[in-house]
Amino acid sequence: MMKTLIVDENGALSVKEIPKPHCGDNQALVKMISCGICNGTDAKLIHRKFKGVELSEYPLMLGHEGVGRVVETGKDVTGYKTGDVVLLPFVDADEALYGKLGSAWGAYSEYAVVNDKCARGHDIPECAYAQTIVPEDIDPVDAAMIVTLREVLSSIRRFGIKENKSVAVFGCGPVGLTFIRFMSILGVHPIIAFDVVEEKAAEALEKGADHAFCSKHCDPKEEIRKICPDGVEFVLDAVGILGLINQAMELICDQGKICCYGIAPECRFDIDWTKAPYNWQLQFQQFPSKAEEGEANAQILSWIRSGIIDLKDYISDYFSFDDILEAFAKLEERKIAKKGIIVFEK
């Protein structure tokens, strides 16, 4: 048996004992080390606002930013060995084991599984390409942060944001600051950041933004046009507020793109492009490709090893798995400043 975090149809969280997941021939069973708390996916699932997940699918096992240590391998596994630390283990729904208990990836569990993309003779799910081994020189607890970092880098690539392109970023929380840091490293310029909190705008400058403003005390259009008279090439919504789409219409230049990251709580919106240039684009990056995350892995590891990025810069809180309900209460109260990490073992 193992413990797992479950959310019910009313949004109530509880820790329950369920059987360990089965380890298939092309899978490895892992004992969980850590799992990052996601203020996007986890919070939306708790509030029943995650696109594509119906109320009838609850209760659900939560957690998708996990790290685990291999304790058992299936007979066809060649890509993992006992003791390997692996990113992105999941616990799938299994009616024979769990009845009607569904899975929202299930990494807030004491055990989970990873799939071996090297196992021959099996249909390999896409997630296997992001279930990569964590090198021994990287802290396995902090490695949970790599999941978010890979999502951000792969999304920058998918949006097509490249060096010497102008970007206005709205939202300087943990995800927005990560976008800013990575774009700065990649030579994106100028980066113009906005947040409703002055301290977050100031932190954006520390992370590499060329300009940062508290949007409560300025007109973003006026500030952007001072820097880029024709408008910026990209507006990035790092928050998930649909109203920013219409606001961005008069901020972009001809052929400019509005980039929406993550899943907004609502899936309907009245778009008004009367103030947009004649030619513009709108792109949603709601669910990063696991294959593309896997492709981003080497670059993230290179930046960590070279000291360009430090995982601890993105983490503010650590919680024991025994205190996971307290951790989510703090998340709800907005008392976790950056990334919170649930720790199962050291």
What is the rounded distance in angstroms from the CA atom of residue 265 to the CA atom of residue 70? 36
The residue with tokens 């024991």 is: 320
Average pLDDT, stretch 114-141? Answer: 94
Prior bond of 125 cis (ω within 30°): no
What is the rounded distance in angstroms from the CA atom of residue 211 to the CA atom of residue 305? 28
Average pLDDT, stretch 118-137? Answer: 93
What is the rounded distance in angstroms from the CA atom of residue 273 to the CA atom of residue 324? 44
Return the percentage of the chain with pLDDT > 90, whole number: 89
What pTM value is reported for the model?
Answer: 0.92
Compute how many other C-beta atoms are within 10 angstroms of the C-beta atom of residue 137.
8
The residue with tokens 């930046």 is: 303
* DSSP letter string, 224-281: HHHH-TT-EEEEEESS--THHHHHHTTTEEEEEEEEEES--S-S------TTS-SSEE
When mean pLDDT is compared across 38-47, 134-143, 291-300, the lowest value belongs to: 38-47
Average pLDDT, stretch 204-231? Answer: 96
CA 55 to chain centre: 23
What is the rounded distance in angstroms from the CA atom of residue 8 to the CA atom of residue 107? 16
pLDDT digits (tens, 9 = 90+) for 281-338: 999 988 878 999 999 999 999 999 999 999 999 999 999 999 999 999 999 998 998 8
Burial class (CB in 10 A: 0-12, 13-18, 19+), 81: exposed
Per the structure block, which two tokens stand in for 330?
Answer: 């703090």
What is the rounded distance in angstroms from the CA atom of residue 171 to the CA atom of residue 204? 10
Report the pLDDT value the prediction gives residue 304, as an integer from 0 to 100: 97
Output 288 or 3, whichever has higher pLDDT.
Answer: 3
What is the rounded distance in angstroms from the CA atom of residue 17 to the CA atom of residue 3? 4
Residue 346 has pLDDT above 60, yes or no: no
Residue 265 has pLDDT above 90, yes or no: no
User: Cβ distance 112 to 90 under 8 Å?
Assistant: yes
User: Cβ distance 33 to 71 under 8 Å?
Assistant: no
Domains, the chain, ordered by start = 2-142+310-343 (3.90.180.10), 149-285 (3.40.50.720)
Per the structure block, which two tokens stand in for 338?
Answer: 């950056």
Kindly give the residue spans of alpha helices, DSSP state H, lying in the chain: 41-46, 95-98, 144-159, 174-185, 198-207, 220-227, 243-248, 290-306, 324-332
